[in-house]
Amino acid sequence: MLQLVGEAMRLGVRIHVAHLDQIEEGLLGFYDHDENTIYVDMNLTRAERNEVVAHELGHAQFCHTCDSEVGERQANRYAAGLLVDPAEYARAEAMSTDVAFIAEELDVTPQIVVDYRRYCLERIGVTTYASPHMGSGQWSARYANA
């Protein structure tokens, strides 16, 4: 959580923990652009809370003011990139490719593992690239597949 608090400070965003069921049943969290505040439900587990805060930080990073499919994808990718260390992911995946196993090893939710695979990994031949971009050498990590 300290990493997420540091990211919130960098973005000038406050994090407020509250009982969100009083606002809307099942509401886990949200980002209020006008208040520059993330609200997160206090009944979440640590992994769930981290996922919600990281996701909402993505909305803050990209200055989202309303829900959209593109905005949700950007926030999901941002959250997965914040919460998953490429080397730790590679170590966990070398032991098992099971989403639940990797999530437990990394202390994240299974959805973060799914999003990390979807948005942050590129597998080409026997090599896996983390957070790839166009051009040679444009990735945050590179690992040979076993």
Give tens-digit pLDDT for 55-111. Answer: 999 999 999 988 899 999 999 999 999 999 999 999 999 999 999 999 999 999 999
The CA-atom distances, in angstroms, between 48 and each of 11, 21, 35, 79, 83 are: 21, 16, 23, 12, 11
- Which run of H or E residues covers position 87? helix 86-95
What number is the average pLDDT over the span 40-51?
Answer: 96
Residue 136 has pLDDT above 50, yes or no: no
Residue 143 confidence (pLDDT): 55
* Average of per-residue pLDDT across 44-64: 96
Average pLDDT of the residues of the chain? 88
